Structure 1
Amino acid sequence: MQAIGNKPSAAVTDSLPVLAGAALAVSAVGAVLALADLTSPLRAPFTLFFLIAAPACAVAAGLRGLEPLGRLVASAAGAVALNLLVAQTMLATHIWSVRGGVAAITTISALLFLLTLVRVRVRRPGGPTARRRTS
């Protein structure tokens, strides 16, 4: 008799990098289509995917301590909140444009990624700021 466990199958764990790469490609195409102002039937769905996926990944990178489901929910909520904040700010200052919104989300998401990388590098055990214990 086989025990039932919570481990994902090997097929699922092997396909995760492929799915992540496909998501990156779709979101990059969406950003390029929006920033270059190209006419395509794929522009709207790919750009929408980028506007949700980029800030969600950036927020999720900073939430490494949470459980996967909590991290997913928090990063999705953070992405929606970030998009609403950018849209409201641009509308209030009368500078709204699709290209400007995509550029703002790209910049903010990149800054969040960089802040996470810097924080992880500084707090890494054995790094330059780690305290050494003496006996």
Structure 2
Amino acid sequence: MQTIGIKPSPSSSSGAGPPRGETRRDLSPLFAGAAAAVAGVGAVLAFADADSVLRGPFTLFFLLVAPGAAIGTGLRGLAPLGRIVASAAGAIAVNLLVAQGMIATHSWSMPGGIAAVTVISSLVLLLTPLRRLRGRTERRRT
């Protein structure tokens, strides 16, 4: 009887790497790049007001991924599941606050909302390295 397992048998390889003919690759940068491309296309389609079937789903993807990724970069110390939950909740909160603020000021527009979410996400993303640098300098002084 043949057993199917995840680990290769010691006879098929020396244990110093993947078996012959197999290569293991980390695909997370590929998925991150694809997600960034889809989000960017969604933002461009929304700003251009293009008549495309993909405009709605790609724009929604952008509105969830842009603030979520920005918030997720600041939460490096959390466990992966906690980081995903916190960044998803933060993304929804940013979108709701932008929508509520724009409706309260009677200035609601779809391109304006996407621009506001983009600016907030960019600020959060850019302030994260500054906070880390400031934390390192304060530790050196004391």
Give me the TM-score of the superposition, normalised by structure 1: 0.83
| 1:39 CA displacement | 1.5
1:25 corresponding residue in structure 2: 37
Cα RMSD after superposing both structures: 2.0
Question: Given the alignment of the two structures, is residue 87 of structure 1 paired with residue 96 of structure 2, yes or no?
Answer: no
Find the counterpart in structure 1 of residue 85 from structure 2.
Answer: 73
Letter in structure 2 aligned against 1:107? V
Where do 5+ consecutive residues of structure 1 fail to align?
A: 5-9
Is structure 2 residue 65 aligned with structure 1 residue 56?
A: no
Q: Secondary structure at the match of 1:131?
A: helix
State the alpha-carbon separation in 2 of the partners of residues 50 and 21 from structure 1.
13
Report the AA paired with residue 16 of structure 1.
Answer: S
Return the index of the structure with the highest Cα Rg: 2
Give the letter aligned to residue 24 of structure 1: A
Aligned to 1:119: 131
* Cα offsets for 1:41-92 (capped at 9, x unmatched): 1100000000000000011111111111000000000000110000001011
Cα separation, 2, equivalents of 1:112 and 1:132: 26
SS at the partner of 1:65?
coil
Distance 1:117 1:72 in 2: 20
The yes-or-no answer on 1:98 pairing with 2:110 is yes
Under a length normalisation based on structure 2, what TM-score does the superposition of the two structures give?
Answer: 0.79
Tell me, in whole angstroms, the C-alpha distance in 2 between the residues paired with 1:117 and 1:35: 29
